[in-house]
Amino acid sequence: MNTKYETLALERVDNDVLLIRLNRPQAANAMNTRMGEELMDLFEGFQLDAHGLRALVMTGTGEKAFCAGGDLKERNGMTDEQWLRQHAMFERMLRAIVACPLPLIGAINGAAYGGGCELTAALDFAYASENARFALTEVTLGIMPGAGGTQNLPRAVGERRAKEVILTGLPFTAQEAYDWGLINRVLPQNELLDATLATARRIAGNAPISVRQAKQSIHRGLQMSLADGLAFEIECYNRMVSTEDRHEGVRAFNEKRKPEFRGI
């Protein structure tokens, strides 16, 4: 795994958890071409090798912004061809994040506008600081959400609320994001990262094959009919019956001790 990026700061926590910081604080962590390429590289890599990781946490550097969206200063003056080429890369990045086999939790530490809000909606779930603000402002710029916003936001908050948010372009608070279902918890800024990492550590302590299979079953099953989803769930379930972790979990329960899961 590449650990030296220009726009991302990576920190391995307790060996099992990786903290990913969007690291352009001078630009409110806005997403430029380089950040998109580096996120794409990082998350496509996880589909090939998890590097012993069991959970991921994503946040932004600083206390003001998670991600202010696409870097409009960089985009100023782009030709249509250049714009489309960059956006094709952003689309590939988004698909890699959504397809990540590892649990991916957000610690939304400030403004999450445009692509930052779309990124939030693409995570498995997220906590936010009390000062966090969200918006999908694309229609005020002559475009529309194009990094999953029109798909992931309705799945999180419902069709009618998503239409209101996207068609008005108006910002909303962390509390509203929580009330609507986009955010799982709202916390003081000084507690946000510790609480998110605590959840990541809790997940990392569970059987890694079980966690991955359950994540996949939920995500893919929601795109199927109930009958097909139930059949897919059993396929995911059966993958674990012959694992060492399944045997270890049952042994540990009966021996009244903490299981030692190895992901095999």
* Active-site residue flag, 118: yes
Backbone phi, psi, residue 20, to 5°: -110, 115
* Active-site residue flag, 74: no
Is residue 34 within 8 A of residue 6, CB to CB? The reply is: yes
Helix, strand, or coil here: 162?
Answer: helix
Q: Where are the alpha helices (DSSP H) in 99-225?
A: 115-122, 149-157, 159-168, 174-180, 189-204, 208-221
Whole-angstrom CA distances from 226 to 155, 231, 237 are: 16, 9, 16
The closest alpha carbon to 121, from 90, 145, 86, belongs to 145
Is residue 47 within 8 A of residue 3, CB to CB? The reply is: no
Is residue 145 within 8 A of residue 113, CB to CB? The reply is: no
Catalytic position from the list 118, 164, 235, 260: 118
Phi-psi bin for 169: left (phi > 0), alpha (psi -120 to 50), beta?
left
Is residue 63 within 8 A of residue 29, CB to CB? The reply is: no
Q: Which two tokens stand for residue 35?
A: 């950040």
Is residue 109 within 8 A of residue 192, CB to CB? The reply is: yes
The span from the CA of 58 to the CA of 60, in Å, is 7
Catalytic position from the list 138, 176, 255, 260: 138
The span from the CA of 106 to the CA of 152, in Å, is 15
Catalytic center residues: 118, 138
